[in-house]
Amino acid sequence: MSTSAHSSADAIRTGGTVTDRLVGANAHYAADFTDPGMDARPVLRVAVVACMDARLDLHAALGLELGDCHTIRNAGGVVTDDVIRSLTISQRALGTRSVMLVHHTNCGLESLTEDFRHELEDEVGQRPAWAVEAFRDVDQDVRQSMQRVRTSPFLLHSDDVRGFVFDVTTGLLREIDPSAEPSSDLA
């Protein structure tokens, strides 16, 4: 089996785009697809908020099957207003009760700053309305994300909120203690 990068290069060489390759893959998928007969309510009643990083195969890493959870992904896996929006819908309309946060080692947001927004403004003439949410200490960012979920007035269930850091080199999760003090070695 070829790698995704190799397959993408083949699609481009044959006159197609990466999106053409994905649409073609969907046609193969749909040929054998059978309606699983489930609704939008996750079986495990959990929502997982994670980084969009391509190295995280959440379903495989967490032993999840189709229909088990709601998955909300963004850059850094940080809890933004839009994540709170999605979690609120997940809980209030679709019955989830637990929230699992998954950040990871070697995240791209660790190398960015809010200057990224200023650079965009200089380039396009308009400042983005959103924050970059960059961070230097992944553990502290998980704690901050847990706190944002726990204190949101819109969420019905904030007692089962746990945060983790996924190690991209070992595949293991490390749970973050929400009450631990931030590291002081970051200057």
pLDDT tens column, 114-151: 899 999 999 999 999 999 999 999 999 999 999 999 99
Q: What are phi and psi of 22, to 5 degrees?
A: -65, -40
Confidence of residue 16 (pLDDT cuts 50, 70, 90): confident
Confidence of residue 6 (pLDDT cuts 50, 70, 90): low
Does residue 185 carry a pLDDT above 50? no
Query: pTM of the full predicted structure?
Result: 0.86
As a whole number of angstroms, the distance between CA 137 and CA 182 comes to: 8
What tokens were used for 156? 């019905």
Reported as a single tens digit per residue, the pLDDT across 42-86 is: 999 999 999 999 999 999 999 999 999 999 999 999 999 999 999
8 A C-beta contact, residue 174 and residue 164 = yes
Residue labelled with tokens 């998955």? 71
Looking at residue 108, what DSSP letter applies?
Answer: G
What tokens were used for 29? 């998928």
As a whole number of angstroms, the distance between CA 103 and CA 78 comes to: 8
